Structure 1
Amino acid sequence: MEIRMLGRTGRQVGIIGLGAWQLGAGWGQVDEADALGTLHAALESGVDFIDTADEYGDGRSEQIIGKLLRSHARTGTRKPTVATKMGRRMAQEPENYNAANFRAWTDRSRRNLGVERLDLVQLHCPPGPVYASDEVFDALDALVEDGTIAAYGASVRTCEQALAAIRRPNLATIQIVLNAFRAKPLEKVLPAAAGAGVGVIARVPLASGLLSGRYTAATVFGADDHRNYNRRGEVFDVGETFSGVDYATGLEAVERLRPLVPEGVTLAQFALRWIVDQEAVSVVIPGARNAHQAHANAAAAALAPLDQDTHKAVQDVYDELIRPQIHNQW
């Protein structure tokens, strides 16, 4: 698997990682055995970066990853880099982003993961004023200095938030929604991150599964799946569900993309390769609910880069169908 530098962390990681939201909650139930099987399959496929958060299943995702880490410690195999996030288990108010809460949140994540020091901690889509607070970043710097965390980053909602975060001198990474249906970060965010040496973690790379090509107008999602209960942003930012794209529009765009996919390649792998072709991206984090999906996602790293004509065709679909609907929202 191609290896890239993870921003200012000093670590190198494979270009395809694993997003572990699905293993906690919000996508229907995944039992622990299947979750561990998914994690092991990802690592067997060359994945060495796992992204989670303290709120996924209220710690369940972190705890399952902790079991994986302990099993690797027993066998002496190389430990993957684990990035977690903090801040969404409490009201999203700027005053809650303070040194005391950061200490409590990181201590809980360390217990869940069973580690002394967290590899990477990201602010989890905090409100806008947080990015302007020197006290917030001083507190994060203190956690690095005392060895609680190795590095910190920010998971952001908007391009403007990403640009504000990138200006922080010790910020190691940003995480942002980036896929063929959310191309706005290509304009300013990726160039700014590359110029500053900040890593880019691309999340929601398959637009909540739309870009897998497996769904139709007749697909029914479970009551405990955010693709059912958050289509209009009823619970959290709608940009995290189908990337904010209207479901019917997304299905139409998928059909426009299908003829571009090379023979022997799935639409999901094609969509991941589109992201990997963006040189400023450090790692893309597709989710997976089983071992088959984890293996298939990792295989996208071995695909040849898409040619310029294909990239233009993807951009044309975005410009015609997606841009008018969501481009200015995030």
Structure 2
Amino acid sequence: MMRYRKLGRTGLVVSEIGLGGGGIGHVWGETTDDEIAETIAFAMAEGINFYDVAPSYGDGAAERNLGRALLEAPQGRGHDMLVATKVALSEDDLGDIPAAVERGIHESLERLRRERVDLFQLHNTITPVRGQYRRSVSVADAMLAVDALHRLKQDGLTRYVGVTGMGDGGSVRAVLREGSLDTVQCYYNLLNDSNARPLPDGSSLHDHGQLLPLAEELGIGVIGIRNLAAGALSDSVDRTVPPDSLVAVDFKRARTLRFLEREGVPLSRWSARFALQQVAVSTVVPGVKNRAELEDQIAAVDLADISDADLGTLDTLRADDFGVRQSDDRVL
């Protein structure tokens, strides 16, 4: 049975498992329109009330698919679902950030077939210097975008505003402290829990900056993302992963976690449970692409927490970089 948590200070009560938009936007492998419609209908039937999409998921496909499914839901149930989407600034947008943010929400609302969204978020990584990562924005850029988000909130086009907390941890922390934000999306999974605590000495993993305790301090709701590490913590990957990519390194690291798979519980389910064990996380939004994958993630709600002994084994593995030491300065 689905359980629910408060989303920071928003007053919203969200399902512990939400539906991320990557799968329904064809990002994580092949699926069909019928499978997508079935997945969204199943999500609603199982009590999922939080849906997180973005224009970049399938060039608008995730927004269109979600909008159509919610509009066609029986008895108007789709109107009661909480919908979050995002705006990502391109290099061309940086000359007039407020205009780009406003244009973004109107385009998203058209695809979603809604008059407003419940949450509108900045989707760029945030770094000290603009362009340090692919499509990253500076703190100053991000604050201009956040100001524009707040104006959309005042205009009634979104109920709440947030950011994707990716990039340089210190830069994201600065935006959280100054932005009067309602939510932040935080990378958090079995392989990298640096949003909760510092990485072990000598770790080659990306340090996400310990955003969870700061979000708790500020009353900002936390949306857990990438709990499956782009599929590395899942058995259902059906897309090609280049063998020399940094994502492929996560697949190697994930092999060391198979000790968790007891009594028929797959690693993907433990991955969701691990995120939900973190009390600062309000909801986890796996980007599943079909009903079977979603069923697996929902089952984590009733799964017992990972034991202290197994968490200790995880700490030992992390201290050794899971046996795979490779510089990791990416931002997923």
| TM-score, normalised by the number of residues in structure 1 | 0.84
Distance change (3 Å), C-alpha of 1:130 and 1:74: farther
* Matched letter for residue 300 of structure 1: A
Q: Quick one: which of 220, 224, 230 aligns to 1:208?
A: 230
Measure how far apart 1:326 and its partner are.
Answer: 5.2
Return the alpha-carbon distance in structure 2 between the equivalents of residues 157 and 10 of structure 1.
25
Residue 124 of structure 2 is matched in structure 1 by: 125
Distance 1:45 1:319 in 2: 38
Q: 1:81 to 1:12 in 2, by over 3 A?
A: same
In 1: Cα distance, 2:78 partner to 2:19 partner: 18
Question: Is the counterpart of residue 14 in structure 1 residue 32 in structure 2?
Answer: no
Give the count of matched residue pairs: 306
Match of 1:8, SS? coil
Alignment match, 2:114:
115
SS at match of 1:39: helix
**Structure 2 unpaired stretches of 5+:** 128-136, 198-209
Percent identity, aligned pairs only, is 29
Q: 1: CA distance between counterparts of 2:287 and 2:40?
A: 10
Q: Residue 163 of structure 2 aligns with which residue?
A: 154
> Of residues 193, 196, 204 in structure 2, which corresponds to 1:186?
196
Q: Structure 1 residues 259 and 92 mapped into 2: Cα distance closer, same or farther (>3 Å)? A: farther
Q: In the alignment, is residue 38 of structure 1 matched against residue 39 of structure 2?
A: yes
Aligned 8 A contact 2:126 2:166 in 1: no
Structure 2 vs 1, CA of residues 184 and 30 (structure 1 numbering), >3 Å: closer, same or farther? same
What amino acid is aligned across from residue 79 of structure 1 in structure 2? Answer: D
Q: Would you say the 8 A contact 2:21–2:62 is kept in 1?
A: yes
Q: Distance in 2 between matches of 1:228 and 1:22?
A: 19
TM-score by length of 2: 0.83
| SS class of match (2:60) | helix
CA contact (8 A) 2:54 2:87 kept: yes
Q: Does 1:79 align with 2:94?
A: no
Q: Would the aligned equivalents of 1:122 and 1:152 in 2 still touch at CA under 8 Å?
A: yes
- Distance in 2 between the 1:147 and 1:83 partners? 14
Structure 1 counterpart of 2:264: 264
Partner of 1:299: 299
Equivalent pair of 2:71/2:79 in contact (CA under 8 Å): no
Amino acid aligned to 2:163: A
- Distance in 1 (CA, whole Å) between partners of 2:194 and 2:327 is 9
Aligned-partner residue type, residue 196 of structure 2? L
Counterpart selection for 1:140 from 149, 155, 170: 149
Contact 2:126 2:172 in 1 (8 A): no
3-state SS in 2 of match to 1:306 = coil
Contact 2:49 2:82 in 1 (8 A): yes
Distance 1:26 1:328 in 2: 22
Q: Unaligned stretches of 5+ in structure 1?
A: 233-243
Partners of 2:139 and 2:122 lie apart in 1 by 10
2:65 maps to which residue?
64
What's the CA shift for 1:251?
4.0
Inter-CA distance 63–329: structure 2 relative to 1 (3 Å threshold): closer
Q: Partner residue of 2:217?
A: 195
- Report Cα offsets for 1:162-221 as digits up to 9, x if no partner: 312321342111112211112211122111111111111111111121112456xxxx73
Please say if residues 120 and 149 of structure 2, whose CA atoms lie closer than 8 Å, have aligned partners that are also in contact. no
Measured against aligned partners, the alpha-carbon deviations of 1:108-148 in whole angstroms (never above 9, x if no partner) come to 11111111111111101244354335433322211111101
- Compute the displacement of 1:268 (Å): 0.7
Root mean square deviation of aligned Cα:
2.5
Give the direction of change, closer, same or farther, for the CA distance of 1:169–1:268 in structure 2 (3 Å limit). Answer: same
Aligned partner of 2:161: which letter? Y
